[in-house]
Structure 1
Amino acid sequence: MCESDVSDPPTASPTPSAPPAAPGSAGTPPSPHATSTTERGSFCLARCVCGWSGPARRSRDLARTDAAAHALNP
């Protein structure tokens, strides 16, 4: 019986991919606009550390949307 040296073909090892950088991590400067919502009676308004204040809303969701829009486009 003849033995032949059969080797497996070389396989490429998968290259590890880096996870996407989180906002505010070393690769991305932190956003200078930290927003929050504040309630005044039956109204809710968005505020930012830069001094910006959104319109008073009865809907908390709309106030959060105002805050998110400001953080993206100050």
Structure 2
Amino acid sequence: MHEQPAPRPHHTTTTERGSFALARCTCGWTGPARRSRDRARTDADDHLHTAEAV
């Protein structure tokens, strides 16, 4: 029997690129570019909640 690798925890960050902010996760997920930093953080929170539900 093969051992399954442990799932990687999700850790999100927000970065700025010009006048846009975007959220990223250690799992490879990237949110859409947003003009609102608050919306980018909300995207990151939504991703974490979705990832925990799976």
Q: TM-score per shorter chain, which class?
A: 0.7 to 0.9
Q: Which residue in 2 is equivalent to 1:51?
A: 28
Q: Where has structure 1 moved over 4 Å in runs of 4 or more?
A: none
Q: Could you tell me which amino acid in structure 2 is paired with residue 62 of structure 1?
A: R
More helix by share: 2
Query: Structure 2: where are the runs of 5+ without partners?
Result: 1-7
CA deviations 1:25-74 (Å, max 9, x no partner) are xxxxxx81100001000000000000000000000000000000001102
How many positions carry a matched residue from both structures?
A: 44
Find out whether 1:64 has 2:48 as its counterpart. no
Unaligned runs of 5+ in 1: 1-30
Higher relative CO (Cα under 8 Å, sequence separation at least 6) belongs to 2
TM-score (norm 1): 0.57
Cα distance in structure 1, aligned partners of 2:43 and 2:34: 10
Name the structure with the higher strand share. Answer: 2
SS of residue in 1 equivalent to 2:14: strand
TM-score by structure 2 length?
0.77
Q: Which of these two proteins has the greater Rg computed from alpha carbons?
A: 1
Identity %: 70
